[in-house]
């Protein structure tokens, strides 16, 4: 599972996502077009990240088909 990492100032994650930055590790999930979708605070395994991504994709498909 590959994903970009953000290195910056402490307020950068909140500014980019609109979600409060609590601490590390925090995972931010964005749509392919750059829209913030959700965040998870704390460790996330690859299987958990894949489940989150599947859920977000299912949500996107349901929204698109309405």
Say if residue 16's pLDDT is above 70: yes
Total domain count for the chain? Answer: 1
Q: State mean pLDDT over 45-64.
A: 91
Instruction: Please state, for a pLDDT cut of 90, what percent of the chain lies above it.
Output: 29
The answer to whether residue 29 sits within a structural domain is yes
Q: With respect to residue 2, please indicate whether it lies within any of the assigned structural domains.
A: no
What is the extent of the structural domain holding 29? 13-64
Residue 7 covered by a domain? no
26 assigned to some structural domain: yes
H/E/C letters for each residue in 3-48? CCCCCCCCCHHHHHHCCCCCCCCEEEEECCCCCEEEEEECCCCHHH
Do the domain assignments include residue 1? Answer: no
Judge whether 39 lies within some domain. Answer: yes
Whether residue 1 is predicted with pLDDT greater than 70 in this model: the reply is no
Give the pLDDT score at 14. Answer: 82
Asked if the structure places residue 18 within a domain, the reply is yes
């Amino acid at each position: 599972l590959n994903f970009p990492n953000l290195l910056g100032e402490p307020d950068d994650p909140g500014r980019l996502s609109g979600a409060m930055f609590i601490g590390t590790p925090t995972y931010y999930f964005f749509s392919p077009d750059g829209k913030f979708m959700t965040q998870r605070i704390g460790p996330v395994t690859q299987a958990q990240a894949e489940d989150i991504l599947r859920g977000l994709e299912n949500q996107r498909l349901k929204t698109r088909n309405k």
